[in-house]
Amino acid sequence: MKPSIPKGTRDFSPDEMVRRNFILQTIRNVYERYGFRQIETPAMENLSMLEGKYGEEGDKLLFRILNSGDVTNEIKEKRDSIKTSDLSEKGLRYDLTVPFARYVVMHRNEITFPFRRYQMQPVWRADRPQKGRYREFYQCDADVIGSDSLLNEAELVQIIADVFSALNIGVSIKINNRKILAGIAEILGQADKIIDITVAIDKLDKIGAEKVNEELRSKGVSDDAVQKMQPLFSVKGNTSGKLAFLDTFLEKSDIGKKGIEEVRTLLNYLDTLKFQTALLDLDITLARGLNYYTGAIFEVKVNDTRSTFTSSVLGGGRYDDLTGIFGLPDVSGVGISFGIDRIYDVMLEMDLFDKLNLNKPSTKVLLVNFGSKEEHYALTVLQKLRAADIKAEIYPDAAKMKKQMAYADAYKIPYVLLIGDEEMQSGKLTLKNMTSGEQSKHEVEELMNMLHE
Partner RNA sequence: GUGAAUGUAGCUCAGCUGGUUAGAGCAUCAGAUUGUGGUUCUGAGGGUCGUGGGUUCGAGCCCCAUCUUUCACCCCA
Residues lying near RNA in the complex (CB under 7 A): 2, 4, 6-9, 55, 57-58, 61, 95, 125, 127-135, 137, 139, 199, 203, 206-207, 288-290, 299, 311-315, 337, 339, 341-342, 400-403, 405-406, 408-410, 416, 418, 420-423, 430, 432, 434-435, 437, 439
Q: How far is the CB of 112 from RNA (least distance, A)?
A: 28
Closest CB 228 distance from RNA, rounded Å:
22
Residue 75 CA to residue 66 CA, distance in Å, equals 12
Nearer to RNA, 122 or 244 (CB): 122
Residue 443 DSSP SS3:
coil
Give the long-range contacts of residues 218-227, CB within 8 A, separation 24 or more.
Answer: 219/193, 220/193, 220/196, 221/188, 221/190, 221/193, 221/196, 221/197, 222/189, 222/190, 224/189, 225/188, 225/189, 225/190
Instruction: Tell me the closest approach of the beta carbon of residue 213 to RNA, in angstroms.
Output: 14
| CB closer to RNA out of 265 and 311 | 311
Give me the helix-helix angle, 223-233 and 178-187, nearest 10°. Answer: 140
Amino acid found at 49: M
CB-count burial class (<10 Å; 0-12, 13-18, 19+) for 198: buried
Give burial (CB, 10 Å; 0-12/13-18/19+) of 42.
Answer: exposed
Q: What minimum distance in Å lies between the beta carbon of 132 and RNA?
A: 6
Residues 213 and 200: their CA atoms lie apart, in Å, by 8
> Could you tell me the smallest distance in angstroms from the CB atom of residue 400 to RNA?
6
The residue among 88 and 265 lying less far from RNA, judged by its C-beta, is 88
Expressed in angstroms, the distance from the first to the final Cα of the chain is 49
Number of Cβ atoms within 10 Å of the Cβ of 94: 24
Q: Return the number of the residue (264 or 288) whose C-beta is nearest RNA.
A: 288
The residue type at 301: K
Nearer to RNA, 102 or 432 (CB): 432
Q: Give whichever of 125 and 253 is closer to RNA, judged by the CB atom.
A: 125
Using CA atoms of 89, 91, 96, 102 in order, give the dihedral in degrees to the nearest 10: 10
Query: 202 or 262: whose CB is closer to RNA?
Result: 202
Compute and round to an integer the Cα radius of gyration of the chain. 29
State whether residue 54 is helix, strand or coil: coil
- We find the least distance from the C-beta atom of residue 111 to RNA, in angstroms, to be 24
Identify which of residues 396 and 437 has a Cβ nearer to RNA in the complex. Answer: 437
The C-alpha atoms of residue 358 and residue 226 are separated, in whole angstroms, by 53
**Kind and range of the H or E run holding 185:** helix 178-187
CB of 109 to RNA, least distance (A): 29
Nearer to RNA, 42 or 55 (CB): 55
CB of 55 to RNA, least distance (A): 6
Q: How many residues does the chain have?
A: 453
Bridge partners, 367 (sequence order): 394, 417
How many C-beta atoms lie closer than 10 Å to residue 46's C-beta?
A: 12
Q: In angstroms, give the least distance from the CB of 77 to RNA.
A: 27
Nearer to RNA, 58 or 333 (CB): 58
CB of 424 to RNA, least distance (A): 8
